[in-house]
Chains A and B, each alone.
Chain A
Amino acid sequence: MDHRVEDRFLAAYERFQSLNGTATPLLSLSQNAIERFVKKGFPKRKNESWKYTNITPVINRTYQIVDPVDATVKGLDGLDAHQAVFVNGRFAPALSKLDSLPKGVMVESLCDVSDNDLIQSHLGSYANYEDEPFTALNTAFLKDGAVIQVSSDTKLDQPVHIINRIISGEPAIVQPRIFIYADNRSSLQVVHSKEYTDSISALTNSVIEIYVGQEGQVDFLDLQIGTPQTSQVTNLSVYQQSDSKFQSDVFTFGGEIVRNNLSIHADAEHCESILNGLFMARDRTHIDNNTFVDHAKPNCFSSEYYKGILDDHAVGVFHGQVLVREDAQLINAYQTNRSVLLTDTARMFSKPALEIYADDVKCSHGATTGQLDKDGLFYLRSRGISEENARQLMLTSFAGDIIEKSPVKALHEMLYNEVERMLR
């Protein structure tokens, strides 16, 4: 088997570790991960879950692992948040605003807490590096990242905003890492966004692990704004305890290749998991959303709602896997994927995969892909609205459906603005 690309990453790994790479307490995790990565190799299209996404051209390029530099960040319009900034993957305290965190909430740099018991026992145990090569690669290069810990019975009134600032004159690879531990009956909202230098060429490979304790609630909003020169791979793994709620909102606007692996492990009763996504693409952008909901215990609810608007030669993929294990009775699992193709050359691949081994469950899925509704357009125009405005109104409303479901209300206006920018 030809492992040349992987060998290049292995060489980079050895260099990285020789130069003060992974902190000692996490070194064995990193070593296991690189071994696993080399053995598995990058995913190929013959792998069922990568059937429609060819990542090879992106990983065949040469990237630099870049050092942190002086930087500024813009933040997001309308969002007042506790802010943790990472520049090229390294925590930047001077750019962060963490002074007003309530008691019981810690937002820290992984570098500072790598020997902490919580990290030692949990980091890497939710994000599966055994089977997921990108997670293995990220774990191998572990160095810094955001660690958010919320004590039991603590509720945040403001979101935590994690900004990954990426700056480089040369093509760069950055591997953000986020670990969130929300203890019993705690609740918080987290927003994750990236800010790139203009015209940068970059690959980001993010790994996010979230633990939601009993009766806890976590909302995670991932904002992915890209250019034809930026590719993003994100592995988000969530572990839910009983009576917990988790909601993910993934907004993808452009990019070269974007791949999201979102996996939910509902390992206790009465979990509620909501997975929403909006993806908009034009030119030759390729956006692939891959979700996996594992219902391991009875009496849980999950709902997935993904919408996409694809223009030009853009390609969208939605692969939604739901597993209901044998003893997981009384599960309600719903999945919907709707996409609008604005040209004859845009394409959408939508593939639900329900695997159900329990007999008393309610599961459904629905997928529609089509053009903009002609009758709707005529109706709007017949009221005096110009064709362009009518299209804009219909598409904004189509996308707005997902925006309105996001609990981070402060970002709605900014998200609508992004939608309008993409439609222009």
Chain B
Amino acid sequence: MKPIIEIKGLKASVEGMPILKGVDLTINSGEVHAIMGPNGSGKSTLASVLAGNEDYEIEDGTVDYLGHDLLEMDVDERAREGVFLAFQYPVELPGVSTMNFLKQAVNSVREHRGQEPLGAAALLRLAKDKAALIELDARLKQRSVNQGFSGGEKKRNEIFQLAMLEPTLAILDETDSGLDIDALRSVSHGVNQLRNPDRGFLIITHYQRLLNYIEPDFVHVMAGGRLVRSGGRDLAVELEEHGYDWIQTDH
């Protein structure tokens, strides 16, 4: 077990407004961490900052990712190094064919890892296997990326891409929001299949519902831009029972 990411004293702002006010978090290989917290606490900002969204200004702190300074890397470089963000709101790309997109993404990552790029047939086979894993309707691959997909289909497509790109650190930003129970179950099933000893997960969620399906090793509570409490799975249950108010009044 080795650390994948070590976040120390991370502060970030958007348009001059501080959002993250000193976040400390270490995720080791094989671990699943969940961050819960009320709306506006900074959970999604943390995900965006780690993925490399340039709308956020880093004010202070360090992020070490497998011995590299993550904050110095461009968004595409981070992805090639194995950081994956499953978006809360996946972007529709009209006209961009899903297979063409996957080919470029998969081969960019493979090339970076010193692997041979996949040809069309091999890619199609891989896509077929991975789509089955998360019960993604195969016909969606014929369409433009996310275009006209339902909320559930978009989220499944995110996990499908996760499966295709095989990242070292997977960040799931409110993947459960807008999912009905069947979609939630199949997305969770997909994520559980993708858990392995070399991979770390950071799961951001407002509700503990998702954590019934994907059992985290650690649960953190974020409030006011900081992780204010950390614990095991029982912390999530506690939050479900008492809401977030008792956490906030504590601090």
Contact residues of A between 200 and 239, Cβ < 8 Å to B = none
**Nearest opposing residue in chain A for B90, CB measure:** A379
Q: How far is the CB of A399 from chain B (nearest CB, A)?
A: 8
* Chain A residues closer than 8 Å to B104, beta-carbon distance: 380, 383, 385, 389, 393
Q: A379-B90, A389-B104, A393-B104 are in contact. Are A384 and B96 (CB under 8 A)?
A: no
A384's contact among B53, B87, B95, B108, by CB below 8 Å, is which?
Answer: B108
Complex Cα distance, B74 from A339, in Å, reads 28
Q: A384-B108, A389-B108 are in contact. Are A397 and B95 (CB under 8 A)?
A: yes
- Chain A 298-327: CB-based contact to B (< 8 A → 1; otherwise 0): 000000000000000000000000000000
How many inter-chain residue pairs (CB < 8 Å) link A and B?
76
Looking at B91, B95, B108, B109, the one whose CB has the most chain A CB atoms below 10 A away is B95
* Chain A residues closer than 8 Å to B75, beta-carbon distance: 378, 381-382
Complex Cα distance, B51 from A380, in Å, reads 12
Asked if residues B51 and A382 are in contact (CB atoms below 8 Å), the reply is yes
Contact residues of B between 218 and 240, Cβ < 8 Å to A = none
Chain A interface mostly: helix
* Chain B residues closer than 8 Å to A383, beta-carbon distance: 79, 101, 104-105, 108, 161, 165
Looking at A375, A387, A400, A401, the one whose CB has the most chain B CB atoms below 10 A away is A375
Number of B interface residues in the complex (CB < 8 A): 29
- Chain B 47-83: CB-based contact to A (< 8 A → 1; otherwise 0): 0000111000000000000000000001110111000
Complex Cα distance, B94 from A373, in Å, reads 11
Complex Cα distance, B53 from A378, in Å, reads 7
Complex Cα distance, B53 from A379, in Å, reads 10
* Chain B residues closer than 8 Å to A379, beta-carbon distance: 87, 90-91, 93
* Chain A residues closer than 8 Å to B161, beta-carbon distance: 383
* Chain B residues closer than 8 Å to A9, beta-carbon distance: none
- A113 interface residue per 8 A CB criterion: no
* Chain A residues closer than 8 Å to B91, beta-carbon distance: 373, 375-376, 378-379
**Nearest opposing residue in chain A for B108, CB measure:** A384
Contact residues of B between 73 and 119, Cβ < 8 Å to A = 74-76, 78-80, 84-85, 87, 90-91, 93-97, 100-101, 104-105, 108-109, 112
Asked if residues A393 and B101 are in contact (CB atoms below 8 Å), the reply is yes
Complex Cα distance, B51 from A375, in Å, reads 13
Asked if residues B93 and A397 are in contact (CB atoms below 8 Å), the reply is yes
Q: A379-B87, A393-B101, A393-B104 are in contact. Are A385 and B76 (CB under 8 A)?
A: yes
Asked if residues A400 and B53 are in contact (CB atoms below 8 Å), the reply is no
- A358 interface residue per 8 A CB criterion: no
Complex Cα distance, B93 from A398, in Å, reads 9
Interface residues of A (CB under 8 A from B): 373, 375-376, 378-387, 389-390, 393-394, 397-398, 400-401
For this complex, 30 residue pairs linking A to B, each with C-beta atoms less than 8 Å apart, are: A373-B91, A376-B91, A376-B93, A379-B87, A379-B91, A380-B93, A381-B74, A382-B51, A382-B75, A382-B78, A382-B85, A383-B105, A383-B161, A383-B165, A384-B108, A384-B112, A384-B165, A385-B76, A385-B104, A385-B108, A393-B96, A393-B101, A397-B93, A397-B94, A397-B95, A397-B97, A397-B100, A397-B144, A398-B95, A401-B95
Interface residues of B (CB under 8 A from A): 51-53, 74-76, 78-80, 84-85, 87, 90-91, 93-97, 100-101, 104-105, 108-109, 112, 144, 161, 165
3 shortest interchain CB distances as A-B pairs:
A397-B95, A384-B79, A383-B105
